[in-house]
Amino acid sequence: MTSLTTPSPAQNKPAKKPKMNDYPWYSPRFWHALRISDWCRLLARHGFRVHPFKLPMAAMITATTPFNSAAALLQHLWFGSYIERTRVEQPPVFIVGHWRSGTTLLHELLHLDSRFATPNTYQCMAPHHTFVTEWLIGKRMGWLVPKQRPMDNMAAGFQRPQEDEFALLALGAPTPYARMAFPNDVPADYSDVLNLDEASPADVEKFRKAIVWFAKLITLQTRQKQLLLKSPPHTGRIGHLAQWFPGAKFIHIARSPFSLFPSTTRLWESLDDVQGLQVARHKHLREYVFDCFERMYRGYEKQRNEIPAGDLYELKYEDLVKDPVGQCEQIYERLQLGNFAPVRDKIAAYMQSQKDYQTNKHQMDAETEAEIRRRWAGYFSRFGYE
């Protein structure tokens, strides 16, 4: 078995805040994929409070929205009826778990199985016109995207596997990722959608339409392969996803809360600085991290009981990095995902190629550790981190 142990603290790179020049001005932001109507609604909802320093970025985004609207109309005219008629025959596989819990690593590993259809970054950023533009932009203009993500050392690019949550954002669905545009505004956008049990019926229906449509899109584009989707916010939606996609499989990955909290805080600091239309003050970020976690796991713990036996598998990040091949084989066996043999060597080779990857090192004060233990006590107990 191949093993990749977590680097010791002495090996870890310090968790430094990324600088704006680490993410070039010309690189695409999430908002570059919005259509005119969605862009205007986003600005209006926040009173057009764009910081003067961010006006050039806002101007560039505004300039791209007419293209998105026109290309979206073209895709609708050419392929709309085909997308609507597409049936998702094979139950999707959803990877869930809190941000920074290892969902990306697991996504990268299972993506090595060519039997799965995994949305790439371009498809998730431009779902409303990927059919008509990916051949030009997604496959020939990859230099626009930095080689690494702004919040960690993971590889990035238009053709890399990506979270479907970004596609839902581009489609105008209610998603908490919209808060990154105006990170200083309180309350944050659509936090209640982290647990669909607590969302309004109207938002639930908007969300359902968006994710079902996107699932049809990728199914059609990949000729009926089984979907492999990953999104941390889906953690508190699994019961609803199971209803919309009968037979769907779920893989939940857990990680020590003492790693989750500082790493998630850094994630939002990075994304708010890079994606925000305001100069982020991060004044309410600490409470936002706590609140999101609690919302997600209220939904997860209730809805997991609605998932049929054999359709949900839980593992720990620490076990995955210790024995990636063995853990992935367990996933295939428990969820009946087919023959594991064809992907075994691919996973081993990938992990060998990542042997020099270094995780970020975080430090916390005793007060923060105590608050994490108090507020997330159920997670400590539930997943064996006591």
Q: Which of 192, 75, 177, 90 is nearest to 126 (CA)?
A: 75
Note whether residue 3 is domain-resident.
no
Q: Provide the residue range defining the domain that includes 194.
A: 23-382
Note whether residue 198 is domain-resident.
yes
Note whether residue 13 is domain-resident.
no
Note whether residue 347 is domain-resident.
yes
Note whether residue 105 is domain-resident.
yes
Note whether residue 7 is domain-resident.
no
Note whether residue 14 is domain-resident.
no
Residue with the bigger pLDDT between 111 and 309: it is 111
Q: What is the pLDDT of residue 188?
A: 85
Q: Which of 126, 113, 346 is nearest to 218 (CA)?
A: 126
Helix (H, G, I), strand (E, B) or coil at 247: coil
- For residue 259, the one-letter residue type is S
CA distance 19 to 104: 23
Span 272-287, pLDDT tens digits: 998 999 999 999 999 9
Q: Which of 249, 209, 246 is nearest to 229 (CA)?
A: 249
Q: What is the CATH number of the domain that holds 348?
A: 3.40.50.300
CA distance 304 to 321: 25
Is the Cβ–Cβ distance between 209 and 84 less than 8 Å?
no
* Token pair of 202 as six digits: 């109207």
Span 299-330, pLDDT tens digits: 999 999 999 989 999 999 999 999 999 999 99
Percent of the chain with pLDDT over 90: 77
Note whether residue 2 is domain-resident.
no
Number of domains in the chain: 1
Question: Rounded to 5 degrees, what are φ and ψ at 254?
Answer: -110, 160
Range of weakest confidence among 16-25, 167-176, 186-195, 246-255: 16-25
Percent of the chain with pLDDT over 70: 85
